[in-house]
Chains A and B, each alone.
Chain A
Amino acid sequence: MTRGRVRAATRLLSLLITAAVLVGCSPVPTHPVFHKTVDPETLAEWGVFAIEEGRLVPRAGVIEYELNTPLFSDYSHKLRTVWMPEGTQSNYSSDSSFEFPIGTIVSKTFYYPLATTGDRTQVVKTSEALGHEAGGRLVLNAVHLIETRILVRRASGWAASTYVWDAAQREARRERTGAVRALQLVSERGGAVQSMVDFDYVVPDVNQCAGCHATDVKRGSLWPIGLKARHLNRDHDYGGRLGRRNQLEHWAELGKLAIPADDPLTRARSFGVSLPRAAVWDDPAAPFEARARAYLDINCGHCHNRQGPADTSGLSLEAAETSAVALGVCKSPIAAGRGTGNRRFGIVPGQPDESITVYRMASTDPDAMMPELGRALPHDEGVELIRRWIAAWSDARGCDQVTSNSARHSASATRLSRSQGWNPGRYQAK
């Protein structure tokens, strides 16, 4: 053996060793990986995203989606994706979360577009998805990545974990006890700063994940919240040749959404039948009623439903709720404490300033605010929507007190009319 050959062999060996060590230390997959039992320490190990060309990019097979009306989280923006293992698909449901196959990985990345100041702690308050390109690509020098939450469907059920991004935005590491990021929310107009608000963005701990996702408090198991027909039934810009198309239709065409032949979706595609569709909360063309109910549904309904952690309150704000009392109309609080804001009833028709619901939505006091978790700022535009809905309540205004049973029984229990309830909307066939 010549010296050259020895050297070459040594080099090859060391390369192999390096490769082996690399694989052992940081196994970065190039496609999504279902971790069956244990959450890996880094987001990269899930293989959902690549970082390339200065962008966070969903890998092949990872589907971006959006919701008609999203949960408010301190004006953060969200990149949502779902991935299902090769050859598997989800099953449609008209009212609850779709049934997803074992191995499904759902991700939600919380980020803010950066302000023009150049300071990364200064983030913009905007409804425009700045730095978010079609196909779910985030331009890293235009956004501040905070955290990516993962919901994975294991054999034992859904499990949640969250990954907090480092300052360089190269790696997100698992954080089980939460974290706090001090940020400034900047309102800009025409490049000029209008206002700046300091706030602490709070990354939840894993128990707090269950605070929202354990939508049935007795069972305690976790469920996705947004992956329901009414939230997903909308167009989305997939970029490239696909362009804008209805999400449910797209999933079905990809073979990722199974629809029984007699199912409404199949019928909808053939006959244009109505499918559940929540209103877009800030769509000026939609009626207040539908926008307000859609907003309460996604922001409150995960706890305030008839099986949820807030069933103790007797207040139910899910889309399907039809009882006016359960929505809070002239209803006394049960255990609101100071959360009443010295107001007497959940909703006083026609009087938003007398309604506890409005007070708690506008509050940032941990003891009074609703939702209890996930925000440090009030959602001014959301509060305004609910105020206007209550102000425009068409039924008799106010909450008349009764002091005898005969008076009480003369009033029939108030039910919501169909128009006050959730409006399913029309399925948009292509």
Chain B
Amino acid sequence: MKYQEGILPRRMWVVVALSWVLAGCSTKDNAPIDTNFQRELQTRLIDAKPGEVIEIPAGRYTLDRSLSLRVSGVTIRGAGMNETVLSFKGQKVGAEGLLVNASDFTLENVAIEDTRGDAVKVNEGERITLRGLRIEWTDGPSTANGAYGLYPVRTKQVLIENCLVIGASDAGIYVGQSEDIIVRRNTARLNVAGIEIENSRRADVYENVVTENTGGVLVFNMPNLPQRGEGARVFRNKIYANNTANFGAKGTPVASVPAGSGVVINSNDQVEIFDNDFTDNATAHVIISSYFSTGYMTEKGVAEIFDPYPEAIHVHGNRYVGGGNAPDGLDLKALKLAVFGLSGRFPPVLWDGYVDSKKMQNGNLPPNLAICVRDVGEVLNADGPGEYRNPKVSRLEHNCSLASLPPVELKL
């Protein structure tokens, strides 16, 4: 079968060619590998020119090798997150479904299922758009699932919107070591972490639905990395019933997250959490913690310059319903029992109590570094430094305010 060059516009030609190889397309179980499609698509990615749109028509395609793109200015577009499906069930080669090392990249309206490792990784690049994607591990939550769903790392100007991410054994949507990020109107469910912003600067996470994960939204800083993160706004999200037992591999940062966590801030600064609806997160709706509480702080393994203290944290104007009634892990269970009794519950916000004594002035952090929690009755200081021996409930100590963080503006 041959098409004469010039009869069809270039873009159409790709569509036609890809539909041709689709002939003989397969059913879901034990699907044979669509070798021709795989080869054709990877060739298109290798040959792509800046400005090119590679369209993948509706259909279900089974691949066993990861795809990769190294050309900037390329858009990959499917016919919809339920129409164009790339299944990597039985993947043999590659640590990702799609690996991108390029700028001005858009991926939209495609489903990527059952990759062995991460589904989509974008390593280094500016102006990255991931839109209308369904990323799913179809057998439900399992430690055997790939780690990350959408994984831009060391990127700038990142937009992730209208995606559905299900079943990642680490984070569904994970933005690492990046700058200027918007994550909005996505649904993340049944992942260990629904959405994670790590070592990143200026992130807006809003209008997402985050449910049935172990932890809903994580804002973390990890040691030993060239970039420290700060500046995240988490607002207008629905974060509910994130009570799935932690199925992350031991040793991963998310493995330390207790099931039943709504938002977890760890060692990050300048984080504003507001106008969210928190419902039925059984450990706590908001956890503010330091790296000391993760169990990974070692004498030899953390660079001296790493600052493990969460500072300038501003939690206000959220709505809280239920939750805090069945915390995960022995320490937290014991803590709840001791302070609130068998039928009691944690207050919506839990702080591990670590504070940088070097920065204290008259026994308090300076106002611009404070942990401010308003519009909530109580905050529990768990006394992590005292090994949970003297937890205390505070009503006024955190009743302060910080200047609102500016919105993230993208120039995509």
A326 to chain B, nearest CB (A): 7
- Closest chain-A Cβ to B98's Cβ sits at a distance in Å of 11
B292, A344: Cβ atoms closer than 8 Å: no
Check B94 for interface membership: any CB of A closer than 8 A: yes
Measured CA separation A220–B224 after assembly (Å): 24
CB-defined interface of B87-120 with A at 8 Å, one 1/0 digit per residue? 0000111110001010000000000000011100
Which of B271-320 touch A at CB < 8 Å?
A: 292, 295-304, 308
Min CB distance A347 to B, Å, is 9
**Given A207-B45, A312-B176, A344-B250, A367 and B300 touching (CB < 8 A)?**
no
Q: Quick check: is B349 within 8 A (CB to CB) of the other chain?
A: no
Q: Does A244 contact B (CB under 8 A)?
A: no
**Contacts of B198 on A, CB cut-off 8 Å?**
334
Chain A residues touching B, majority SS? loop
In chain B between 57 and 104, which residues have their CB closer than 8 angstroms to a CB of chain A? 65-66, 68-70, 91-95, 99, 101
Q: Is A400 an interface residue (CB 8 A)?
A: yes
A-B contact count (CB 8 A): 189
A405 with B357: CB separation less than 8 A: yes
Chain B CB count within 10 A is highest, among A332, A344, A401, A414, for: A332
Give CA–CA (A413, B304) in the complex, Å.
6
Which of B69, B148, B301 is A325 in contact with, Cβ under 8 Å?
Answer: B301
Q: B128-155 interface mask toward A, CB cutoff 8 Å, 1 = contact, 0 = none?
A: 0000000000000001101110010110
Q: Is A336 an interface residue (CB 8 A)?
A: yes
Q: What residues of A have a CB within 8 angstroms of the CB of B295 in the complex?
A: 401
Within 8 Å by CB of A207, from B70, B151, B292, B385, lies B70
Report chain A residues within 8 Å CB of B357. 405
Bound complex: CA A200 to CA B90 (Å): 14
- CB contacts (< 8 Å) of A412 on chain B: these are 304
A149 to B23, CA, bound (A): 34
B395 within 8 A of A: no
Say whether A314 contacts B224, CB under 8 Å: yes
Q: A220 touching B101 by the CB < 8 A rule?
A: yes
Q: Is there an interface contact between B117 and A337, defined as CB atoms closer than 8 Å?
A: yes
Please, which residues of chain A bring their CB within 8 A of the CB of B46? 176-177, 205-207
> A333 interface residue, CB < 8 Å from B?
yes
In the complex, are the beta carbons of B298 and A176 less than 8 A apart? no
Interface size (A, Cβ < 8 Å)? 63
Q: Which of A330-344 contact B (CB under 8 A)?
A: 330-344
Contact with A along B37-61 (1 / 0, CB 8 A): 0010011011000000000000000
Contact of B65 with A372 in the complex, beta carbons under 8 Å: no
Q: 1/0 per position for B367-408, CB-CB distance to A under 8 A? A: 000000000000000001101000000000000000000000
State how many angstroms separate the Cβ of A370 from the closest Cβ of chain B: 9
Q: Which of B331-360 contact A (CB under 8 A)?
A: 356-357
Beyond A337-B148, A372-B95, A403-B387, is A344–B251 a contact (Cβ under 8 Å)? Answer: yes
Partner of B95, one of A356, A367, A413: A367
CB closest residue in chain B, given A366:
B116
B169 adjacent to chain A (CB < 8 Å): yes
Q: Which A residues, 203 to 259, have Cβ-Cβ distances below 8 Å to chain B?
A: 205-208, 210-211, 214, 217-218, 220
**Could you tell me if B249 and A340 are in contact, using CB atoms closer than 8 angstroms?**
yes
Q: Are B249 and A334 in contact (CB under 8 A)?
A: no
Q: How far is the CA of A93 from the CA of B223 in the complex (A)?
A: 33
Chain B residues, CB < 8 A from A211 = 68, 99
Please report which residues of chain B, range 221-269, place their CB below 8 angstroms from some CB of chain A when the two chains form the complex: 222-226, 249-253
For chain A, residues 364 to 384, give those with C-beta under 8 angstroms from any C-beta of chain B: 365-367, 372-373
Contact B253 A332 (CB under 8 A): yes
> Chain A residue with minimal CB distance to B41?
A177
Report Cα–Cα, A372/B92, bound state, in Å.
11
Q: Does B123 contact A (CB under 8 A)?
A: yes
Task: Name which residue of chain B comes closest to A337, CB basis.
Answer: B147
**Is A408 an interface position by the 8 A CB rule?**
yes
Determine the chain B residues whose CB is within 8 A of the CB of A324 once the complex forms: 300
Task: Give the most central of B93, B118, B250, B299: most A CB within 10 Å.
Answer: B299
A177 near B39 with CB under 8 A, answer yes
**Residue on B nearest A342 in the bound complex, by CB:** B250
A177 to B64, CA, bound (A): 13
Q: Which of B147, B292, B297 contacts A335 (CB 8 A)?
A: B147
Given the known A-B contacts A177-B42, A332-B296, A335-B153, are A343 and B147 also in contact in the complex, defined by CB atoms under 8 Å?
A: no
Q: Does A407 contact B (CB under 8 A)?
A: yes
Cβ-defined partner of A343 (8 Å) among B92, B174, B225, B251: B251
- Quick check: A402 and B42 within 8 Å, CB to CB? no
| Cβ-defined contact, B42 with A340, below 8 A | no
- A361 contacts chain B at the CB level, 8 A cutoff: no
Contacts of B213 in A (CB 8 A): none
Interfacial chain B residues near A408, Cβ < 8 Å: 297, 299, 302
* Binary contact readout A165-199 vs B (1 if CB under 8 angstroms, 0 otherwise): 00000000000111000000000000000000000
With A and B bound together, what is the CA distance between A402 and B116 in angstroms? 35
Seen from chain A, the residues whose Cβ lies within 8 Å of a Cβ on chain B are: 176-178, 200, 202, 205-208, 210-211, 214, 217-218, 220, 306, 309, 311-312, 314, 324-326, 329-345, 349, 356, 365-367, 372-373, 396, 399-405, 407-414
With A337-B118, A402-B292 given, name 10 new contacts (CB 8 A).
Answer: A177-B39, A206-B46, A220-B70, A220-B124, A306-B226, A312-B123, A312-B153, A325-B224, A337-B146, A401-B297
Query: 22 A-B Cβ contacts within 8 A?
Result: A210-B70, A217-B124, A306-B226, A309-B124, A312-B177, A312-B225, A314-B223, A329-B301, A330-B302, A332-B222, A332-B253, A337-B147, A338-B147, A338-B169, A349-B300, A366-B94, A366-B116, A399-B298, A400-B299, A403-B385, A408-B297, A413-B304
**Interchain residue pairs A-B with the least CB separation, the first 9:** A337-B147, A330-B301, A340-B251, A367-B117, A411-B299, A314-B224, A342-B250, A330-B300, A207-B68
